[in-house]
Structure 1
Amino acid sequence: MTIYPIEAGNFKLDGGAMFGVVPKTIWNRTNPADSNNMIDIAATCLLIEEGDRLTLIDTGMGDKQSEKFFSYYFQWGDDNLDKSLQKHGFHRDDITDVFMTHLHFDHCGGSVQWNKDRTGYEPAFKNAHFWSNKDHWEWATQPNAREKASFLKENILPMEESGQLKFIDRKNLPYQETSELDFGILYVDGHTDKQMIPHIDYKGKKLVFMADLLPTAGHIPLPYVMGYDTRPLLTLPEKKDFLEKAADENYYLFLEHDAHNKVITLKHTEKGVRLNEVFTFNELFN
């Protein structure tokens, strides 16, 4: 197995929304805001090469939305998914599987693109299966009012219409090894219903793709929960249980949304679980 970090693009989000009830005077120390109160956010995906299988975890925002839509997110830098795939010698047509941790637009928007004459949408990975789970799919396709702006039908329905959609066979357990893919999955419900957190055994380490369970290193303290979470009081015990286990077992946490701290480990302190070490992906695994 070989794993590659795939940079799908950087953007900005409102710092207050990203930290919920935590005052700016506190979160600004770890995630400094610009003059618009926006903080740096990444969309860094993972590509897993195993034999003749290429599995991409999440796909970023994509590029099919309107100029007005993207104006809300202050995109920065020149990274994009195609350039990052090419850097490692791959093309999107090589991808055999796309695994979506959840279906919010910044995690799955790159899975779907305009068709050639821009009259409709089509999968951006024509040779891939798209993996979700049935409970989350139903949650996303029948969205509540709070999340409706994040579950965009043009990002989601074309995967099903193409016949390329697959569901993980969920065993109704919080964590399960999968027969369909090369990693285990932790299911969490605080951010959105049945978000999937991949746990990958790689080069003697447990690498966990954190998605929105832990957006950035600045979110490690338990009360630092995003305003976007639909069930923040459920996020708290989910996060507590995971962070304690990650510190106990020396997990390596891959932070999809942290533009400046890519892989971290945790430690126990008198104040609770806190940041231990920060690594780039390459210095840790090359």
Structure 2
Amino acid sequence: MKLYPINTGNFKLDGGAMFGVVPKLLWQKTNPADQNNMIDLSARCLLIEDGKRLTLIDTGMGNKQSDKFFGYYNLWGNDSIDKSLNKYGFNKDDITDVFMTHLHFDHCGGSIQWNKNRTGYESAFKNARFWSNEDHWLWATAPNKREKASFLKENIFPIEDSGQLKFVPIPSGDVLKNSELGFDVLFANGHTDKQMIPIIHYKDKIIVFMADLLPTVGHLPLPYVMGYDTRPLLTLDEKERFLNKAADENYYLFLEHDAHHEIITVQYTDKGVRLKNSFSCEEIFK
């Protein structure tokens, strides 16, 4: 197995929205804001090469939205999904599986693109299977009013129309062991219903793709929960149980949204579970 970070682009979001009820005086210590109160974020995805299978976890925002839409997110940097794949000798047609942690636009927007004539949409990964789960798919295709702006129909329905959509089975507990994709999957329900967190056994390490269970290092303190989460008290509980396990078992946490920390480990302190070490992907994946 080989792992590759796929940087699909960087953006900014309002710091207050990213930290919910936590005052700016506290969260700006780890996530400094610009003059518009926006903080740096990434859309760092992960490519798994395992035999003949190439699995891409999440796909970023994509590029099919309008300039007005992207103007809300202050895109910065030169990264793109194509550049990142090409860096490692791959292209979109090589991808065999796309695993979507959830269907918010910043996680799945790159799965669908305009067709050649810009008259409609098509799969960006024509040879891949797209993996979601049935409960989250139903949640996203009939969205509640709180999340409606994050579930964009042009990102979701064309996946079903392509005939490439597959569902991961939902376990009776929190973790699906030995999934068809070659990694375990933790199900979390605080941010959105049935978000899927990949747990990858890589050499002698356990690497966890954190998606929106832990967006940045700044979200390590338990009350630091995003305003976007639909069930913040459940997030707090899920995060506490996960971080305790991560500290106990020395998990390596792959941060999708932290623009300045790629992979971290955590440890117990007198303030709770906090940052132990921060690594580049190159250091861990070498």
Alpha-carbon distance, 1:285 to partner: 2.4
Alpha-carbon distance, 1:125 to partner: 0.3
Question: For residues 178 and 104 of structure 2, what CA distance do their matches in structure 1 show?
Answer: 23
Question: For residues 103 and 159 of structure 1, what CA distance do their matches in structure 2 show?
Answer: 11
Where does residue 8 of structure 1 map in the other structure? 8
Where does residue 55 of structure 1 map in the other structure? 55
Alpha-carbon distance, 1:173 to partner: 1.7
8 A Cα contact 2:179 2:185, kept in partner: no
**Structure 1: gaps spanning 5 or more residues:** none
Alpha-carbon distance, 1:271 to partner: 1.1
8 A Cα contact 2:2 2:285, kept in partner: no
Where does residue 85 of structure 1 map in the other structure? 85
Q: Quick check: 1:215 aligned with 2:191?
A: no
Alpha-carbon distance, 1:178 to partner: 3.6
Where does residue 97 of structure 1 map in the other structure? 97
Alpha-carbon distance, 1:202 to partner: 0.5
Where does residue 174 of structure 2 map in the other structure? 174
Q: Deviations over 1:124-176 (max 9, x none)?
A: 00000000000000000000000000000000011101100000012232011
178-187 vs 129-138, which deviates more? 178-187
Q: Look up the SS of the partner of 2:48 in the other structure.
A: strand
**Structure 2: gaps spanning 5 or more residues:** none
8 A Cα contact 2:4 2:285, kept in partner: no
Q: Deviations over 1:172-231 (max 9, x none)?
A: 320111431110000000000000000000021000000000000000000000000000
Where does residue 224 of structure 1 map in the other structure? 224
What is the TM-score normalised by the length of structure 1?
Answer: 0.99
8 A Cα contact 2:31 2:40, kept in partner: yes
Counterpart AA for 1:238: E
Q: Look up the SS of the partner of 1:147 in the other structure.
A: coil
Where does residue 267 of structure 2 map in the other structure? 267
8 A Cα contact 1:15 1:33, kept in partner: yes
Give me the CA root mean square deviation.
0.6
Q: Deviations over 1:72-120 (max 9, x none)?
A: 0000000000000000000000000000000000000000000111111
Where does residue 108 of structure 1 map in the other structure? 108
Question: For residues 158 and 40 of structure 2, what CA distance do their matches in structure 1 show?
Answer: 30
Alpha-carbon distance, 1:66 to partner: 0.5
Counterparts of 1:1-286 in structure 2, within 5 Å, are: 1-286=1-286
Question: For residues 119 and 91 of structure 1, what CA distance do their matches in structure 2 show?
Answer: 24
8 A Cα contact 1:60 1:108, kept in partner: yes
Question: For residues 170 and 31 of structure 1, what CA distance do their matches in structure 2 show?
Answer: 35
Question: For residues 182 and 268 of structure 1, what CA distance do their matches in structure 2 show?
Answer: 30
Q: Deviations over 1:15-58 (max 9, x none)?
A: 00000011101100100000010000000000000111100000
8 A Cα contact 1:187 1:195, kept in partner: yes
Question: For residues 208 and 179 of structure 1, what CA distance do their matches in structure 2 show?
Answer: 15
8 A Cα contact 2:140 2:151, kept in partner: yes
Question: For residues 271 and 29 of structure 2, what CA distance do their matches in structure 1 show?
Answer: 18
Question: For residues 218 and 280 of structure 1, what CA distance do their matches in structure 2 show?
Answer: 17
Question: For residues 51 and 258 of structure 2, what CA distance do their matches in structure 1 show?
Answer: 30
Counterpart AA for 1:181: L
Q: Look up the SS of the partner of 2:93 in the other structure.
A: helix
8 A Cα contact 1:203 1:285, kept in partner: no
Q: Look up the SS of the partner of 2:68 in the other structure.
A: helix
Name segments (4+ residues, structure 1) moved above 2 Å.
none
